[in-house]
Structure 1
Amino acid sequence: MLLKRRDRFLSAWEPIRDELVQHMEQQQLPKDACNWYRNNLDYNVIGGKLNRGMSVIDSAEILLGRSLTNAEYGKAAVLGWCIELFQAFCLVSDDVMDKCHVRRTQPCWYRLPHVRLIAVNDACMLRSAISHLLKKHFRRDTMLMCLNSFTTYVSFNTDMGQLVDLITASEDTINLSKFSLERHRKIVVYKTAYYSFYLPVALAMRLTGILDSDPGTAIRPYQVALSILIPLGEYFQVQDDWLDYAGTVEEIGKVGTDIIDNKCSWCVNTALSLANPEQRAILDANYGGKRRGQEWRVKKVFEEVGIAEEYAKYEDNAFRRITGLIEIIPEVTKVGELKREVFVTFLQKIHKRLM
């Protein structure tokens, strides 16, 4: 079932990509520039899990209580690929700023000898494609302004989160005094939760005709969605941070590198909040270090402060909190109203996952 969903979503990519390249061709831009853009799109947009993009379609079908018609699917797929374009923009930009080497099992785009720092402009073109697609596919729609507003709002929030992350956890300058659980939460909420969790559902809500307020109820649907999806995004990222430390290669498909990369992760921030002066000194001296034994010393402190027990408590509390927020939504709703199932589906995918 998942494969069929993914295959159908992927089948919508080629015509969308061709539309974007054809726009350049219609402007009579040089052929090598058009080919470059095509390669940029294919190299950086496809290849991931596509969960963000497919969530637009899944959420729209839950809200409508039925499968989408072909026309409805086409519009939902455009919105889904807009989110994947934004994700590609984030990854290409992040890789340049973080000096990463590999992304999705292939060299990072900027690492290709013929690309290098042209990747900065390529990232901008990935993000600019979103407004072009929205204008083309929703020009005659009253929702165009709303869709543009959603994407701009989320984009700015993501940029703010990225800024806080970059000035907090530089790989070149390690300073754990900048770290805190509250700072970690701000980074996660702004850098990840808005575009990965809130945006797919908000776009599906707008596509299916849900308005910002319902005169028949006291519920403000988009505010309710935001109040649930931001904690969900935070829970998801804390889980990722935990798995980077505790997950095996067989479980998560990679070797965790947050410690040696000086990431402002939930694990180190929790350890800092619990460490005694001696343990704090060990973290200060070794976190982010790449010499032999430094990562092991950090992990030993994590074990000593009981990081596993702290994570178990966090996960249970997060699950209860989010479940309580979901239960605010009436169990029985009509078409055109918010549904619990949208959020329950997200939570079920995340809770106790191995990644």
Structure 2
Amino acid sequence: MAEVTNVIETTTNLNVKLCSIYSRLKSEILQDSVFNFVDNDHQWINRMLDCNIPGGKLNRGLSVVDCFKLLKGGKELEDDELLLACSLDLCIEWLQSYFQVLFDIMDGYHTRRGQPCWFKDSNVGLKAANDRFILRIHIPRILRRHFKGKLYYIDLLDLFNEIEFQTVSGQMLDLITTQEGEKDLSKYKLPIYRRIVQFKTGYYSFYLPVACALLMSGENLDNFTSVRNILVEMGTYLQVEDDYLDCFGDPEVIGKIGKDIEDFKCSWMIVQALEQANEDQTKILYENYGKSNDACVAKVKTVYKDLNLQDIFSQYKKASNDQLISQIKSQPSKVVQELLKSLFAKIYKTQVINLDP
């Protein structure tokens, strides 16, 4: 019990530190002379940042500090190290918010984190399209202010640029696969789904925080391709779980209203259903998937239940669990094993993972 209490206290203290540094970074942004032309410039930017950046679970950002501490052998970070690690935490949260504002507009979502999406605010609307650029451009400005002069500064810039390219490429594949007017379920195969997920989710959600910590530790990312692949697989699992919850999850719990069926999304659920369905079930899926009609959605979900996709998801989760544990064990560095083990435990809601042979 004492150990659990210590973890909670550590996480709480770190959240407080992140909030403090977020306020500092926001203040630096608001002091930029570009926002002095109109009286309400500051009010708009301040509200836009507060509505889009805080409020999440901070899993991506908190991973930077956790991973950096592990790479330092578990030692507590010095004040300057903590400032830099938390600044990278928040750069990742800025990137996440940029993606969310952008993708919510494209995907037509209504809620995010239990609140209306930014573009759904009656005073915002499609002005959110420009706000997403404001969010994006803050990242290199934060990096320049706090990391210029560090040996890994250019590598950080390259890393964030590459991750953005991979993520929006995944979004592009997602969009053109589900393009309105060209609905074709025959395209929804597992290889296409995996490629969308790996690029749209895996790299920025899991690889980016660890890569930031590695760069801060003076490591060359070219030496960690196997670690990158493991982290991307973790991201794939998380997206599969998200697809499952989009259909069967409680909106009050997951913070958004699932619309994958109505939006003709290439989700894990429809891919698995098409692989398992008989001729009659396939016909029902073709006739009803992608229609914004409660009766059509209900018919698709009935097929999902008849195919026992809940059980298939449980089997997938176990298989993914076993595969990742095996890959983590194969890492030659014990420090890297512990780092991956920590992230694995967060994803799979697992308290203890035995990596011993």
Relative to the length of structure 2, the TM-score reads: 0.89
| 1:115 and 2:124 correspond | yes
Distance in 1 between the 2:318 and 2:27 partners? 46
| 1:285 and 2:305 correspond | no
Give the one of 134, 147, 153 matched to 2:156: 147
3-state SS of 1:113 partner: coil
| 1:346 and 2:343 correspond | yes
Give the Å deviation of 1:154: 0.4
Q: How many pairs are equivalent?
A: 340
Percent identity (aligned): 36
Q: Identify the residue that residue 50 of structure 2 maps to in structure 1.
A: 42
Q: Identify the residue that residue 60 of structure 2 maps to in structure 1.
A: 52
Q: Is this contact kept in 2: 1:86–1:130, CA < 8 A?
A: yes
Q: Identify the residue that residue 197 of structure 2 maps to in structure 1.
A: 188
Q: Using a 3 Å threshold, how does the CA distance of structure 1 residues 304 and 352 change in structure 2: closer, same or farther? A: farther
Q: Deviations over 1:15-47 (max 9, x none)?
A: 01111111245x754333233222221111111
Distance in 1 between the 2:246 and 2:166 partners? 25
Distance in 1 between the 2:164 and 2:173 partners? 15
Distance in 1 between the 2:250 and 2:283 partners? 28
Q: Deviations over 1:147-184 (max 9, x none)?
A: 00100110000010011111222467643233221111
Q: Deviations over 1:103-150 (max 9, x none)?
A: 223222222233222211110110111011111111111111000010
Q: Identify the residue that residue 336 of structure 1 maps to in structure 2.
A: none
Q: Using a 3 Å threshold, how does the CA distance of structure 1 residues 173 and 42 change in structure 2: closer, same or farther? A: farther
**Structure 2 unaligned regions, length at least 5:** 1-7, 351-357
Distance in 2 between the 1:185 and 1:77 partners? 31
Q: Identify the residue that residue 199 of structure 1 maps to in structure 2.
A: 208
3-state SS of 1:12 partner: helix
| 1:125 and 2:127 correspond | no
Q: Deviations over 1:315-341 (max 9, x none)?
A: 1221121112111223545xxxxx211
Give the Å deviation of 1:209: 1.9
Moved more, 152-161 or 310-319: 310-319
Give the one of 25, 32, 36 matched to 1:16: 25
Moved more, 7-16 or 190-199: 7-16
**Structure 1 unaligned regions, length at least 5:** 214-219, 334-338
Q: Using a 3 Å threshold, how does the CA distance of structure 1 residues 132 and 258 change in structure 2: closer, same or farther? A: same
| 1:275 and 2:284 correspond | no
Q: Identify the residue that residue 302 of structure 1 maps to in structure 2.
A: 304
Give the one of 219, 224, 227 matched to 2:226: 224
Aligned-residue CA RMSD (Å):
2.1
Q: Using a 3 Å threshold, how does the CA distance of structure 1 residues 273 and 16 change in structure 2: closer, same or farther? A: same
Distance in 2 between the 1:130 and 1:85 partners? 7
Distance in 2 between the 1:54 and 1:179 partners? 34
Give the one of 70, 75, 78 matched to 2:84: 75
Give the one of 257, 260, 274 matched to 1:258: 260
